[in-house]
Structures are given as C-alpha cells and as structure tokens.
Amino acid sequence: MSRVLVTGGASGLGAALVARFVADGHQVLSTDLAAESPAADGAQYRQLNVRDASDWEAAVAWCEENWGGLDILVNNAGIATGGRIDVESLDEWDRVVDINLMGVVRGCRAFTPLFKRQRSGHIVNTASAAGLVHPPMMSSYNTVKAGVVALSETLSHELHPYGVTVSVVCPSFFRTNLGDSIRGDDTEMGATARRLIEKSPRTADDIAAGVVAGIKKKQFLIIPDRPALLAWRTKRFARPLYDRQMRKIAARARERAETQVPSTGER
C-alpha cells in the first residue's frame, strides 16, 4: 500500500486518479483549491494552491505527521490555455506559466528533500501530448507542457541516485471540465480547444487507467492513449509528414482569421 498525494484532485483527471488509487487500496490525499471538497470514499482532502509555496510546505508537514512520509506525488493540477502569439496576452502567459509549470516545480522542490531522506519516492508530473508535439496556435500551452517534460527528464536523472523515480504523463484530448479554465483574448482558439475536449471519445477514467498502469511499471514517459502515441511517433519517425500536418492546421487557421472579425487582442 502506497501513500499518494494528488493535486487538482477535485475534478477531471485528478479525481479519476484519486478514485483509482483508492480502489487499488492506497492511502490517498486529494488536494485542490477549495477549502472543502468531496473526495472519493476512502480518500482524505486538503486545500492546496499550487501557486503558494507555504501550502506546499504545509502539505509536506501533513504527510510526515500523519503518514510518516509519502510514496507517490502526483503533480496534476493545471489549466487549459492557448492562442495565437500576437493575440494571447502576456498576463495569460504569466498565469499558465505560474500554474502549469511553476506549480509542478514547487511540488517537486517541496517533496524532494523528504524523498531524498527516505531514499525512495515516485514523482508523477502531468504534462500533455502538447509537451511532445507542438501544434500551432498553442504556444503558451505547448511551452509549459514541454517544460514539464524537460523538468521531469532532468529530475529522473538527478534523483536516481536517491532511489526516486520520475514519470511524466502525456495524454491527448479527453473529456473533462478542463475547458472551463480557458480564458484569454483569443476566443476563437479557446472555442476550438473546448470542442476538442468535449468531443473526445476518451474519458478521464480511461486516461487514469493508463496512467496508473504506467506508474506501476515505473515508466518515465506515460502516453496513455493511442492518438497521443501516434502523434509522438509521427514526429519522431516521419517528421516531413508531421510538419505537413502542422502547417495545414496553421493554414486553415489563417483562412478563418482572415474571414472573421479580429479577436479582442488584435485591436
């Protein structure tokens, strides 16, 4: 039985992971922004804002006081964003960097001293297929998720001498409430992202099953669905085809942009 902490555990993939860990018999602490939130039966809940270093310190203290340590840290909290480089605001860039990238950094920094003392632990960072392949009109999201992949690979080597395992999770679109977090000036891109999320045939439970299977195998790169795996393999082994696909997407976006009224950020 492992001791598991999941950020962003109140909904979406986080909630699905919490439920699956509980079903597998683990001790689970679900964390999220709200002061109180229903957790899966058998899980505990604690408020944790991934942007607040003091919340992370308190989470480490809680794990030490109540469990005597931690086995698996799942840095899952995040938001959706995106937009054309000349439309998405710098404020939105700051927001997504602080949550999706620095939130993961804060979690890794907070728990690494504990894992080093234990000479054990498993860090699981949720990135995205966007961390491996980089479609146009998603520069901020692609950038932070690629950063999570790079951070995870770095730590997988850095922490190996201490017996600490690191995994990074890279799913494609799946049905969740992530679209509710989309803000920003590029409303056209936001609407497209919401459609892709809502129309996906995959659920958070589907993705969680693949993630937990990868964690059990201690895989570094966990790609839990076929579309994400296919996109990654196309980029690696058929780069000209991948480039043509990305540029077709960009060309279609240009056509739409030139036939519509400019978004707010283009004033």
Catalytic annotation, residues = 141
Compute the distance between CA of residue 140 and CA of residue 80 in angstroms, rounded to an integer. Answer: 10
99: nearest Cα among 81, 114, 87: 81
Task: Give me the sheet containing 3-6, strands edge to edge.
Answer: 43-47, 27-32, 3-6, 72-75, 121-126, 164-169, 221-222
Type of residue found at 173:
F
- Contact between 224 and 207 (Cβ < 8 Å): yes
Compute the distance between CA of residue 216 and CA of residue 23 in angstroms, rounded to an integer. Answer: 14
Tokens of 265: 């950020």
133: nearest Cα among 46, 249, 35: 249
Compute the distance between CA of residue 10 and CA of residue 31 in angstroms, rounded to an integer. Answer: 7
179: nearest Cα among 159, 195, 157, 161: 195
What residues contact residue 92 under an 8 Å CB cut-off, 6+ apart?
81, 83, 140, 183, 184, 185
